[in-house]
């Protein structure tokens, strides 16, 4: 069954889009990430104009993160205080990122900056996580039990001034590194056009030792607000949000996110981290391959404007 998308100005298969929404929603609900870095390339691959793809998939992220955040809220697995601090840093980072984006574009090096940062970010984060996971798996297999973390045993960055107690996350940490983290994620998000959930989740897990269940809920809550802002801005500035496509993606996405969140609850924490590491590394490798392999069609077309 085909349906015409009035803003993208092309027709797509309804079932295909529903299925894609569901698959990406599942991954997003499972790991507490937005999933935009999966959906955008898929939509562009279908032939949807890049501007429409980027703008419209944010509607799906809003829907699926609403579902996840509400579910986490009900299970009390959402640290609103932590999310609030993250949001403040995130907004400042986004503003900085937008400024940097314009500056790099003026210098004509934007393409290179984006591509290199993508590959570096994904490969380094994925690689580190995978190493950690494998070590963890190995030690459980040998029967060695990790000594449980004792109270008051913290890395130096957590002991900086302005310490705040985040009850839900069971951490007592300086607000400065949390702000710094969200600032850099907001920055990367604006420059790379991604939500940054996949950086936030491992960072909260590994750097701040926030419990896995709370990480997913908190990350989804933060993603909800940033993406909501992005969606409205895209609609106003670029008029590139296709409501029909958005609706299809949302319907598929909310169901997928439900199943994903449910699957996530039954997943062991070490397996969760291993799977997330593999996903991030796979995306990094995909971008790297695209970069170094000689393209079959070196030319590409971009319609810059329509004339009446």
Partner 1 sequence: MRFGLALLLCLLAAGPAGAETLVASLSTSQVRITSNYTGSQIVVFGAIERDAQTVARAGPYQVVVTVRGPRQAVTVREKSRTGPVWINGPQQKFVQIPAYLGVFASAPIADIATPGQRGRLRIGLQASVNAPDITMDRGTEDDRFREALARLKIKELLFIEDERGTTFLTPSLFRTPVPLPVTAPPGDYEVDVTLFADGVLLARAGTSFEVIKTGFEQRLAEFSTEWAALYGLGTAAVALLFGWLATVIFRRD
Chain contacts with partner 1 (rule: CB under 8 A): 2-4, 6-7, 9-11, 47, 59-60, 62-67, 70-71, 74, 111-112, 115-116, 228, 231-236, 239, 241, 243-244, 246-247, 250-251, 254-255, 257-258, 291-295, 297-308
Please give the distance of CA 156 from its chain centroid, rounded to a whole number: 28
Nearest-approach distance from CB 192 to partner 1, in angstroms: 15
Nearest-approach distance from CB 58 to partner 1, in angstroms: 9
Pick between residue 74 and residue 159 the one whose CB is nearest to partner 1: 74
Nearest-approach distance from CB 98 to partner 1, in angstroms: 18
Supply 209's token pair.
Answer: 């030792």
3-state secondary structure of 295: coil
Q: How far apart are CA 276 and CA 105, in angstroms?
A: 32
Q: Which residues contact 108 (CB under 8 A, 6 or more apart)?
A: none
H or E stretch covering 110: helix 110-141
Please, are residues 217 and 210 in contact by the beta-carbon 8 Å criterion?
Answer: no
Pick between residue 195 and residue 202 the one whose CB is nearest to partner 1: 195
Q: Name the residue with tokens 């007592």.
A: 172
Nearest-approach distance from CB 157 to partner 1, in angstroms: 34
Nearest-approach distance from CB 52 to partner 1, in angstroms: 11
Please give the distance of CA 141 from its chain centroid, rounded to a whole number: 31
Burial of 239 (0-12, 13-18, 19+ CB in 10 A): exposed
Nearest-approach distance from CB 65 to partner 1, in angstroms: 7
Nearest-approach distance from CB 175 to partner 1, in angstroms: 29
Please, are residues 111 and 205 in contact by the beta-carbon 8 Å criterion?
Answer: no
Q: How far apart are CA 194 and CA 187, in angstroms?
A: 10
SS3 readout for 135-168: HHHHHHHCCCCCCCCCCCCCCHHHHCCCEEEECC
Pick between residue 38 and residue 248 the one whose CB is nearest to partner 1: 248
Q: How far apart are CA 53 and CA 57, in angstroms?
A: 6
Conformation bin of residue 162: beta by default, left when phi > 0, alpha when psi is -120 to 50: left
Q: How far apart are CA 279 and CA 282, in angstroms?
A: 5
Pick between residue 177 and residue 253 the one whose CB is nearest to partner 1: 253
Pick between residue 210 and residue 224 the one whose CB is nearest to partner 1: 224
Pick between residue 153 and residue 300 the one whose CB is nearest to partner 1: 300
Supply 263's token pair.
Answer: 């699957």
Nearest-approach distance from CB 163 to partner 1, in angstroms: 34
Pick between residue 7 and residue 280 the one whose CB is nearest to partner 1: 7
Pick between residue 112 and residue 271 the one whose CB is nearest to partner 1: 112
């Amino acid at each position: 069954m085909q349906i015409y998308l009035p803003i993208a100005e092309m027709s797509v298969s309804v079932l295909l889009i529903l299925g894609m929404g569901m698959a990406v929603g599942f991954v997003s609900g499972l790991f507490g990430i937005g999933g935009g870095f999966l959906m955008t390339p898929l939509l562009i691959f279908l032939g949807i104009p890049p501007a429409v793809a980027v703008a419209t998939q944010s509607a799906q992220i809003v829907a699926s993160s609403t579902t996840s955040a509400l579910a986490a809220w009900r299970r009390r697995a959402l640290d609103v205080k932590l999310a609030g601090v993250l949001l403040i840093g995130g907004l400042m980072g986004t503003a900085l990122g937008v400024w940097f984006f314009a500056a790099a574009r003026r210098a004509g090096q934007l393409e290179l900056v984006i591509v290199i940062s993508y590959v570096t970010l994904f490969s380094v984060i994925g690689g580190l996580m995978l190493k950690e996971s494998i070590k963890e798996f190995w030690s459980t297999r040998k029967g060695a039990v990790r000594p449980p973390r004792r109270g008051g045993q913290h890395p130096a960055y957590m002991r900086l001034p302005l310490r705040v107690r985040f009850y839900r996350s069971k951490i007592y940490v300086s607000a400065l590194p949390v702000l710094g983290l969200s600032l850099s994620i907001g920055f990367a998000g604006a420059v790379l056009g991604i939500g940054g959930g996949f950086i936030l989740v491992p960072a909260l897990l590994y750097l701040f030792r926030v419990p896995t269940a709370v990480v997913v809920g908190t990350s989804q809550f933060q993603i909800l607000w940033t993406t909501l802002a992005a969606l409205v801005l895209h609609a106003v500035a670029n008029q590139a949000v296709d409501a029909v496509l958005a609706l299809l993606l949302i319907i598929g996405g909310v169901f997928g996110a439900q199943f994903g969140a449910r699957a996530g609850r039954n997943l062991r924490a070490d397996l969760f981290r291993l799977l997330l590491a593999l996903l991030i590394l796979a995306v990094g490798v995909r971008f790297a391959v695209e970069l170094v392999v000689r393209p079959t069609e070196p030319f590409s077309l971009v319609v810059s404007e329509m004339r009446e």
